[in-house]
Structure 1
Amino acid sequence: MYKNILAAVDGTSHGAGVLDTVASLAGLTGAAVHVIHIRPAQVVTDGISGGVYTTEEAAEGRQVVEEALARLRADGVSADGEVDEGLREDLAGILVDRASALGSDLIAVGPGHYSGISALLHSSVSRGVAKTSPVSVLLVRTEA
């Protein structure tokens, strides 16, 4: 069964659902959990200059991970975590690469947040992970 789970969290109720599920799974299997939060960045140009800008402060990202670790550890789960940064279109690849580097045998992610026209403009991280991951992927659905 699973021994090393990568749990992607984003500070929303979707991330909380991932943590609930991963905590239960780790409790059953004795798996260690590595929590990752990726601060999304985007390229902004105005025709002359531009740059890459994150849409979240570094302290916000650290808080998301610290709260997730506290939640898991309160349930007796061995957990560590990190904050990373990447372009929105690269998030799935970052998760798959980190899972590989960590030796994870399961990646747990929540569903996409976009609907309507936004869903057409933004790629689905969970779909990208499922399509490219060499290990099992758990899509955790929540009521939110």
Structure 2
Amino acid sequence: MYKRILAAIDWTASSESVLDQTRQLASLTGAAVFVLHVRAADFPSLPSILGTLASQALAGEPAGDDASSVARRMVDDAITVLSAAGVHAEGLLLESAPAATPRAVLDQARELDVGLIVLGSRHHSQPSVLFRSNVADEVSRHAPCPVLIVP
């Protein structure tokens, strides 16, 4: 069924569900998984960075010195979780302008020739919805393959 799955993760709580769904599908199909995080070049998530740094400090791990280090750690942790479940996983960390995130996900899906994209739904406030679509909407409209949107 699926040979290659692209799992797009971000700083939101839905990333855990995205990884869980991806793990289940990859375990059933034997698919390889590419874990992708597209970091917004000018828009790091300060609360998430602080939370990750606090977790690293509690675990006695050295803290990274920038948002890229924290993003890399997030991708590496996702790969560790998938690998522990017997899923072959590779990580991808890209940087783009915030508005270019859907395009980055779509470009990777095409380049990697994936059979499925798994990503979380992102909820915007009402005024935001009036002016722009979210990443999941854009990806699902233009994807070269099926898209699984996880709440």
TM-score range, shorter chain: 0.7 to 0.9
Query: What root-mean-square deviation, in Å, do the aligned CA atoms of Structure 1 and Structure 2 show?
Result: 1.3
Gaps of 5+ in 2: 46-66
Check conservation: 1:4, 1:34, Cα contact below 8 A: yes
Q: Any residues of structure 2 matched to 1:1-144 within 5 Å, and which?
A: 1-41=1-41, 53-55=42-44, 57-141=67-151
Say which structure is richer in strand.
1
Partner Cα separation in structure 2 for residue 35 and residue 121 of structure 1: 29
TM-score, reference length from structure 1: 0.84
Distance 1:132 1:116, change over 3 A: same
Scaled by the length of structure 2, what TM-score is found?
A: 0.81
**How far apart, CA to CA, are the structure 1 residues paired with 2:133 and 2:73?**
26
More helix by share: 2
Runs (4+) of structure 1 moved beyond 3 Å? 118-122
Unaligned runs of 5+ in 1: 42-52
Give the aligned residue type for 1:123.
Answer: S
Partner of 1:46: none
Q: Is 2:109–2:144's contact at 8 Å kept on the other side of the alignment?
A: no
Residues 59-93 of structure 1, C-alpha deviation per residue, up to 9 Å, x if partnerless? 11101101100110111100001110111111111
Report the identity percentage: 39
CA distance in 1, matches of 2:109, 2:115: 8
Determine the C-alpha separation between the residues in 1 that align with 2:131 and 2:98: 11
